[in-house]
Amino acid sequence: MFKLTYNPNRYKENAFSEIAQAEAEIAQCMADFVCCVLDELKHDNRRCVEEKIELFRCLILASAVKEKAIAAVINALANNTTANKGVCDFPEAYMEEE
């Protein structure tokens, strides 16, 4: 099982990476879950093909909804980060020096 690593006492600059890491761990857990369920369905002789297809459809739909939620969180974090930095008239000021 994964552990959420977000700590509200850390600096604001770390918030994006902490939440992004937690979301990545959730996504990995979801992927593992989907693979496990699909493997179980493959070897399940008690259900007919139609039931397996319906279960698979529901699983994919649930995964898609979660992925959309993860995208919304990442988008909100990106917007917050952009808003905190303000308008950048000179993008090269944020680029790394060579």
The CA distance from 42 to 52, in Å, is: 8
**Threshold 0.75, pTM exceeds:** no
Q: Which residue type does 82 have? A: T
In contact, 52 and 37? CB cutoff 8 Å: no
What tens-digit pLDDT sequence spans the chain (98 residues)? 556 665 555 556 677 777 778 888 888 888 898 888 888 888 888 989 999 889 889 988 988 898 898 888 888 877 877 776 665 554 555 455 54
Tens-place pLDDT, residues 22-38: 888 888 888 898 888 88
- H/E stretch holding 70 reads helix 49-85
C-alpha torsion angle, residues 30, 32, 36, 41 (rounded to 10): 50
